[in-house]
Structure 1
Amino acid sequence: MTAAGGPYRQSASTIRFDWGMPGALAVVEGAAVAVVVDVLSFTTSVSVAIDSGVEVFPYRFRDASAAAFAATRGAVLAVGRREAGTSGVSLSPLSVRAAAADGVLGGGGKLVLPSPNGSAIARQLGEAGVPVVGASLRNVKAVATWVRSAAGRRPVAVVAAGERWPGDLLRPAVEDLWGAGAVIQALLDAGSGPASPEALAAVAAYRDLGRSLVRALSSCASGQELIADGYGDEIAVAAELDRSSRVPVLQGESFRAA
């Protein structure tokens, strides 16, 4: 891995925070665990899948290579939301939940879940040998408890995946800032720390969020995009704060429950 060095590593802090793939590569150096946050919708969908006993393979792109990869793993390949329609599996956590309930995935099923953001970051860090956890608002306390136990006093890198502008530039997405802030707050409450100023800024954003997660997620740019495209029902799943007690850990190629 190549990454920005020097102060960008936040090496003086036990809890570090940054954005996207470049930020992940900067703060992960020397970290015991990397926590990837992609609230709308990769890590929320991973959490829903893990709750249903489904093994999730992160993948960078939804292309011919993804189809071949899924075939060799005996897995279902998630497709685009429009392509999936009402019965297929996509990046939508509702589609993952429905597929698990209908037996398309079910207990012991396998799912390849491509995403250029959270999935790509998790896969690259995993290939570099970094232990990776998938965090969303659904499993904040469970993730913090597991990470605190696994990392001890060693550094933890929390990464907000963000979204993409046209031209493939990183778009910081406030929902991932909130999710990262929730995880960092829970880590601090569990006795981890100190946190970098960047990590504390994420905590402050989460603390200022207020009580209505659904309202906040619906009002932010990513939520508005989902609503405009007809997928606003997914937001309620992303807002299921601490509904899950399971922790998705990337073990080899796939996320499984810790």
Structure 2
Amino acid sequence: MSHPHLQSGHGVRFEWGPTGAQRLAPHVSCVVIVDVLSFTTAVTVVADAGTRVFPYRWRDETAAVFAAEHEASLAVGRRAANAASPWSLSPAALRDAPFTPRLVLPSPNGSAIAAGAGGTPVVAGALRNATAVGNWLARHGYGTPDRPVALIAAGERWPDDSLRPALEDLIGSGAIVTALREHVGDVLSLEAAVAASAFHTTRDVAAAVADSASGRELVEGGFAQDVVIATELDASSTVPVLTEGAFRDGVAGRPGRMSG
């Protein structure tokens, strides 16, 4: 018998963090990372412009070596961005930065989940491209009991490095589940259904994300525009798919719009 934690028998599943990704990835056909503030939102912003994004797990001196090996620009920390290094994990900074064809984006959460997926296909999902991702999954046959998909909410980290579930990632995952359910019906695990319900019952998604713990942290830190960009619901038709180590747009569709 399958372990209950695998949510077996369901076409659409939901779990948290790098450990959840490692646990579910071998048992599903696709993994969707959701890190609204801000890894996957940042990926959508630069992928919209045609940039290939290389996720990297560590934000240390090895990141520069990795970027050089891939002939890519390197994103720095939010507060470290400057004229010489204008790319950072801040979606607002990325939107204003010069175009670069290849970018290394260090992220302990989002990149760790991508690495933990092994050989399972990985997609970057966010509120900005929720419907586009749901449509793309359905077109590729994902989200059925025979080809299940796992939505992995990245969450944040407590000071002791343990997982802190994050409201914005629950809502973002629910937006994608909602779009996918339009195609595949009620094949959701209870966990995925609860995520969808969180999206549906949030009347004002932008206000909720801004007032969440993560949103307030960014606003108080001077990065309110990052929260604004992260809550541009369905503003992007880009579906970043991890291919040969980098996220690149997997489709050029035009998503419909949803409301919470």
Q: Which residue of 2 aligns with 1:69?
A: 66
Residue in 1 that maps onto 2:88: 90
CA distance in 1, matches of 2:181, 2:206: 25
Residues 192 and 158 from structure 1, CA distance in 2 versus in 1: closer, same or farther, beyond 3 angstroms? farther
Q: Secondary structure at the match of 2:238?
A: coil
Q: Residues 86-165 of structure 1 correspond to what in structure 2 (within 5 A)? A: 88-99=86-97, 102-103=98-99, 105=100, 109-125=101-117, 128-152=118-142, 153=144, 154-165=147-158
Larger CA deviation: 140-149 vs 218-227: 140-149
Q: Pick the aligned partner of 1:185 from 178, 183, 190.
A: 178
Alpha-carbon distance in structure 1 between the residues aligned to 2:112 and 2:141: 23
Deviation for aligned residue 1:237:
0.5
Deviations 1:125-145 (A, max 9, x none): 1xx111000000011111011
AA at the equivalent of 2:140: A
The answer to whether residue 253 in structure 2 is matched with residue 255 in structure 1 is: no
Q: Which moved more, 1:171-180 or 1:16-25?
A: 16-25
Contact 2:22 2:113 in 1 (8 A): no
Letter in 2 for 1:147: L
Matching residue of 1:234 = 226
Q: What is the distance in 2 between the residues matched to 1:81 and 1:159?
A: 24
Rounded Cα–Cα distance in structure 1 between residues aligned with 2:42 and 2:16: 20
Which residue is 2:209 aligned to? 217
- Cα distance in 2 for partners of 1:175, 1:124 equals 22
The 10-residue stretch of structure 1 (192-201 or 109-118) with the greater mean CA deviation from structure 2: 192-201
1:173 match: 166
Code of the aligned partner of 1:188? R
Matched position secondary structure for 2:184: coil
> What letter is aligned with 1:88?
P
Which whole-Å deviations, capped at 9, do the CAs of 1:205-239 have from their partners, x for residues lacking one?
Answer: 111111x3221111000000001111111111001
In structure 2, distance between residues paired with 1:88 and 1:193:
44
* Structure 1 residue 241, shift from structure 2 partner: 0.6
Shift of the alpha carbon at 1:26?
2.2
Distance 1:145 1:120 in 2: 25
Shift of 1:28: 2.1
Could you tell me whether the CA contact under 8 Å between 1:17 and 1:157 is conserved in 2? yes
The one-letter code of the counterpart of 2:221 is D
* SS in structure 1 at match of 2:151: strand
Please, which runs of 5 or more residues in structure 1 have no aligned partner?
none
Counterparts of 2:73 and 2:221, CA distance in 1: 24
- Give the fraction of aligned pairs with identical amino acids, expressed as a percent: 49
Amino acid of the structure 1 residue aligned with 2:27: G
* Structure 2 portions without partners, runs of 5+: 251-260
